[in-house]
Amino acid sequence: MPLLRLCSKSELPANGQATEMMLNGRVICVANAGGEISAMDNVCLHRGGPLGQGVVDRDKIICPWHGWTFDRRTGAALHDNRARVPVYPVKIEGDDVMIYIE
């Protein structure tokens, strides 16, 4: 997987928040939980809700449309570990936030 620049550190969401960011025509959900940054696909597996508009609850992202909850580190849905949203490893290089993405 290539390493691509997502944003600068100043553009990251505040602690306890998530946001949507575009990268190569794809919307990425970026979350900040206690200073730990995670990135995952923005589309909820249930009905396509925008995860980046959801709630960050420690290590979980809760979809704002119907409450489906995903582990922000693994992408696994809490109700069914087999249902997974793609997660993209994050790397901070100086002021740049980079992610590994296909």
What pLDDT score was predicted for residue 102? 80
Find the domain containing 49 and state its range: 3-100
Tally of domains within the chain: 1
The DSSP string of the chain is --EEEEEEGGGSPPTTEEEEEEETTEEEEEEEETTEEEEEESB-TTT--BGGGSEEETTEEE-TTT--EEETTT-EETTEEEEE--EE-EEEETTEEEEE--
CATH of the domain at 21: 2.102.10.10
Assess whether pLDDT exceeds 90 at residue 77.
yes
Over residues 15-64, the pLDDT tens digits come to 999 999 999 999 999 999 999 999 999 999 999 999 999 999 999 999 99
CB 20 within 8 A of CB 98: no
Report pTM: 0.94
Q: Is the pLDDT of residue 1 over 90?
A: no
In the chain, how long is the greatest CA-to-CA distance?
Answer: 37
